[in-house]
């Protein structure tokens, strides 16, 4: 399969990229973002694109992909609702709508978050915006759309978050996270599990279109290597 990856330099995106590059049935991983990944691999192609709200100039580079893994995420801390909407809903839908027109047979996997509100009525701003984004994606004419709602994720393989506060949090939690994952394997995921589950969703589909942490863990466990 050919995979298009957004957010490859983030914590989740780094994990997904690693699993894609190791997938024997993955022929190409094209990472698209404002900055290059900084990695080199025979399967990896970096596309630096400054305007993630407009893809008119790069349509030829977005064709013939089997899957899109959209791992771009911003914190809602100290961000207004209009700004968060622009960086979450508007940015995601700009990419998704362009891809739906070019790759109708594509499977689109979106990394949302535990607590996102599909009813769009939550009193918490980010939950409403994420839910609205999910609903809009599910209405697009892709072959398949899957919403991943992970909660806590343990970074493995030397992966680190770009966000300072998250790096500090994961550094402090490093001794505890393996214990939490052992005690609650359905609620504490790893970057490997998320990437493996995404690939499984493309290969074999999933029973649900909106997957919570436990569903993601189960999908990854049930994944059959190609």
pLDDT per residue as tens digits for the range 93-123: 999 999 999 999 999 999 999 999 999 999 9
- Reported as a single tens digit per residue, the pLDDT across 171-196 is 766 777 777 767 766 678 999 999 99
pLDDT at residue 134 greater than cutoff 70:
yes
pLDDT more than 70, % of the chain: 90
pTM above 0.85, yes or no: yes
pLDDT score of 224 more than 60 = no
Residue 204 CA, chain-centre distance (Å), reads: 18
Higher pLDDT, 183 or 135: 135
pLDDT above 90 covers a percentage of the chain that reads 77
Instruction: Read off the tokens for 174.
Output: 């490093």
Residues 191/157, Cβ–Cβ less than 8 Å:
yes
CA-based nearest residue to 149, from 211, 87, 66: 211
Alpha carbon distance 7, 112 (integer Å): 13
Torsion angles phi and psi, residue 16, rounded to 5: -65, -40
Residue 141 has pLDDT above 70, yes or no: yes
CA nearest 5: which of 66, 83, 82? 66
pLDDT tens track for 25-58 = 999 999 999 999 999 999 999 999 999 999 998 9
Res 158: pLDDT: 83
Residues paired with 69 in a beta bridge: 5, 109
The two structure tokens encoding residue 125:
């701003």
Distance CA 174, CA 155 (A): 9
């Amino acid at each position: 399969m050919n995979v298009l990856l957004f957010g490859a330099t983030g914590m989740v995106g780094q994990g997904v990229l690693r699993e894609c590059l190791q997938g024997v049935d993955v022929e190409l991983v094209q990472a698209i973002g404002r900055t290059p990944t900084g990695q080199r691999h025979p399967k990896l192609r970096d596309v630096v694109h400054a305007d993630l709200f407009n893809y008119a100039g790069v349509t030829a580079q977005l064709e013939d992909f089997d899957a899109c893994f959209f791992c771009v995420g911003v914190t809602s801390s100290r961000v207004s609702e209009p700004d968060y909407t622009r960086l979450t809903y508007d940015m995601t839908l700009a990419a998704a709508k362009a891809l739906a027109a070019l790759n109708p047979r594509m499977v689109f996997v979106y990394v949302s978050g535990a607590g996102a509100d599909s009813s769009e009525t939550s009193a918490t701003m980010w939950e409403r915006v994420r839910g609205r984004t999910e609903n809009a994606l599910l209405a697009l004419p892709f072959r398949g759309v899957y919403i991943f709602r992970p909660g806590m994720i343990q970074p493995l393989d030397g992966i680190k978050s770009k966000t300072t506060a998250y790096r500090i949090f994961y550094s402090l939690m490093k001794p505890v996270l393996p214990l939490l994952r052992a005690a609650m394997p359905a609620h504490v995921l790893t970057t490997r599990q998320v990437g493996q589950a995404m690939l499984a969703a493309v290969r074999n589909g999933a029973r649900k279109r909106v997957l919570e942490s436990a569903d993601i863990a189960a999908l990854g466990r049930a994944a059959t290597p190609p």
